[in-house]
Amino acid sequence: MSASSQDNALRSGIAWRVLIYSVLIVTAVIYLAPLFVMLVTSLKSLEEIRMGNMMALPLQITFEPWLKAWGSACLGLDCNGISGYFWNSLKITVPAVAIGTLLGAFNGYVLTKWRFRGHQWVFGMMLFACFIPFQIVLLPMSQVLGWLGLANTTSGLVLVHVVYGLGFTTLFFRNFYEAFPDELIRASVMDGAGFFTIFGRILLPNSGPIIVVTVIWQFTNIWNDFLFGASFASGDTAPITVALNNLVNSSTGVKEYNVHMAAAITAALPTLLVYVVAGRYFVRGLMAGSVKG
Amino acid sequence: MQQNIARDKASTVSESRNDKLIGYLQQHLPKLVLAPSFAVILMFVYGFILWTVYLSFSASKMLPNYTWVGLEQWSRLWNTLTWQISLQNLFIFSVLYIGLCIVIGLSLAILLDQKIRLEGGLRTLYLYPMALSFIVTGTAWKWFLNPGLGLERTMHEWGFVDFKFDWLINSDMAIYTVVIAGVWQASGFIMAMFLAGLRGIDNEILKAAQIDGAPAWKIYTRIIIPQLGPVFLSAFVVLLHLAIKSFDLVIALTGGGPGNATSLPATFMYSYSFTRNQIGVGASSAVFMLMIIASIMVPYIYSEIKGGKK
Amino acid sequence: MSFLNIENVNKHYFDVEVLKSINIEINKGDFLVLVGPSGCGKSTLLNMIAGLDEISGGDISIDGQSMAGVHPSKRDIAMVFQSYALYPNMSVAKNISFGLEMRKVPKVERDKAVQKVAKMLQMEQLLDRKPSQLSGGQRQRVAMGRALVREPRVFLFDEPLSNLDAKLRVDMRTEIKQLHQRLGATIVYVTHDQIEAMTLATKIAVMNAGIVQQFGSPEEIYDNPVNTFVAGFMGSPSMNLIQAKVCKVEDKLCFEVATADQDRPLLLPIERDQQALVSYLNRNVTLGLRPETITDPGSANRSEGQIHEADLMVKVTEPTGADMFVVTQLGGTEVVARMRSRCGALAGQSCRFAFDVSRNLAFDGDTGDRIQ
Ligand SMILES: Nc1ncnc2c1ncn2[C@@H]1O[C@H](COP(=O)(O)OP(=O)(O)O)[C@@H](O)[C@H]1O
Ligand SMILES: [Mg+2]
Residue A243 corresponds to which amino acid? Answer: A
Interface of A with B in 104-163 (CB under 8 A): 106-107, 109-111, 114, 116, 120, 122, 124-129, 131-141, 143, 163
The CB density around residue B173, as the number of other CB atoms within 10 Å, is 14
Question: Is the shortest distance between the CB of C47 and ligand 1 below 6 Å?
Answer: no
β-strand partners of C215: C205
Q: How many residue pairs from chains A and B have C-beta atoms closer than 8 A? A: 262
Average pLDDT over residues B284-302: 88
Interface probe with B: pick from A37, A136, A255, most Cβ of B within 10 Å: A136
Closest residue (by CA) to atom 12 of ligand 1? C18
Expressed in angstroms and rounded, the spacing between residue A183 Cα and the centre of ligand 1 is 14
When mean pLDDT is compared across A54-63, A105-114, B27-36, C284-293, the lowest value belongs to: A54-63
3-state SS string for chain A: CHHHHHHHHHHHHHHHHHHHHHHHHHHHHHHHHHHHHHHHHHCCCHHHHHHCCCCCCCCCCCCHHHHHHHHCCCECCECCCCHHHHHHHHHHHHHHHHHHHHHHHHHHHHHHHCCCCCHHHHHHHHHHCCCCCCHHHHHHHHHHHHHCCCCCCHHHHHHHHHHHHHHHHHHHHHHHHHCCCHHHHHHHHHCCCCHHHHHHHHHHHHCHHHHHHHHHHHHHHHHHCCHHHHHHCCHHHCCHHHHHHHHHHCCCCCCCHHHHHHHHHHHHHHHHHHHHHHHHHHHHHHHHHHCCC
Q: Using an 8 Å CB-CB cutoff, list chain A residues near C77.
A: 190
pLDDT at C115: 94
pLDDT at A5: 54
Average pLDDT over residues C274-298: 89
Q: Using an 8 Å CB-CB cutoff, list chain C residues near B19.
A: 71, 74
pLDDT at B3 over 70: no
pLDDT at B309 over 60: no
Expressed in angstroms and rounded, the spacing between residue C43 Cα and the centre of ligand 2 is 4
CA-based nearest distance C238→chain A, Å = 33
Closest residue (by CA) to atom 4 of ligand 1? C13
Q: Do C112 and B1 make contact, defined as CB atoms within 8 angstroms?
A: yes
Expressed in angstroms and rounded, the spacing between residue A185 Cα and the centre of ligand 1 is 17
Q: Do A106 and B37 make contact, defined as CB atoms within 8 angstroms?
A: yes
Residue B165 corresponds to which amino acid? Answer: F
Half-sphere exposure of A202 (CA within 13 A, CB side): 29
The whole-angstrom separation of Cα B219 and Cα B226 is 10
C203 within 8 A of C215, measured Cβ to Cβ: yes
pLDDT at C298 over 90: no
Q: Do A192 and C73 make contact, defined as CB atoms within 8 angstroms?
A: yes
Q: Using an 8 Å CB-CB cutoff, list chain C residues near B14.
A: none
Give the ligand at the shortest distance from the Cα of C37. 1
A122 vs B38, B108, B255: nearest CB: B38
A81 within 8 A of A70, measured Cβ to Cβ: yes
DSSP C106: -
pLDDT at C36: 93
Site to probe by mutation for ligand 1, drawn from C10, C13, C42 as the one with most ligand atoms within 8 Å of Cβ, is: C13
Residue C158 corresponds to which amino acid? Answer: D
pLDDT at B174: 87
Expressed in angstroms and rounded, the spacing between residue C183 Cα and the centre of ligand 2 is 26
pLDDT at B301 over 80: no
pLDDT at B5: 36
CA-based nearest distance B305→chain A, Å = 5
Mean of the per-residue pLDDT values of chain B: 83
The whole-angstrom separation of Cα C256 and Cα C261 is 13
pLDDT at B305 over 70: no
pLDDT at C32: 95
CA-based nearest distance B121→chain A, Å = 10
The whole-angstrom separation of Cα B226 and Cα C58 is 55
Residue C93 corresponds to which amino acid? Answer: A
Higher pLDDT, B25 or C281: C281
When mean pLDDT is compared across B115-119, B282-286, C166-170, the lowest value belongs to: B115-119
- Spell out, as residue ranges, where chain A has pLDDT lower than 50: 1, 292-293
pLDDT at B17: 60
CA-based nearest distance A193→chain C, Å = 6
For ligand 2, a single-atom ion, which residues have Cβ within 5 Å?
A: C 43
The whole-angstrom separation of Cα A24 and Cα B141 is 22
Confidence of residue B68 (pLDDT cuts 50, 70, 90): confident
**Residue-wise pLDDT tens digits, C39-90:** 999 999 999 999 998 899 999 999 999 998 888 888 999 999 999 999 999 9
C38 CA closest ligand 1 atom index:
23
Closest CA to C146 of C161, C165, C132, C131: C131
Which strands sit side by side in the sheet containing C186-191, from one edge to the other? C77-80, C154-158, C186-191, C31-35, C203-208, C211-216
pLDDT at C37: 93
Q: Is A237 left (phi over 0), alpha (psi -120 to 50) or beta?
A: alpha
B178 within 8 A of B253, measured Cβ to Cβ: yes
Q: Using an 8 Å CB-CB cutoff, list chain A residues near C78.
A: 190
CA-based nearest distance A127→chain C, Å = 26
3-state secondary structure of B35: helix
3-state secondary structure of B177: helix
The whole-angstrom separation of Cα C343 and Cα C345 is 6
Average pLDDT over residues B213-225: 81
pLDDT at B307 over 70: no
Predicted TM-score (pTM) of the model is 0.86
Which strands sit side by side in the sheet containing C361-364, from one edge to the other? C266-269, C252-257, C240-249, C284-289, C361-364
Mean of the per-residue pLDDT values of chain C: 90
Q: Using an 8 Å CB-CB cutoff, list chain C residues near B1.
A: 100, 105, 109, 112-113, 149, 151
Q: Give the burial class of B77: count Cβ atoms within 10 A of its Cβ; 0-12 exposed, 13-18 middle, 19 or more buried.
A: buried
pLDDT at C334 over 70: yes
Given CB atoms, is B163 within the 8 Å cutoff of chain A? no
**Residue-wise pLDDT tens digits, C152-209:** 999 999 999 988 888 888 988 998 999 899 988 899 999 999 999 999 999 999 999 9
| ipTM, two decimals | 0.86
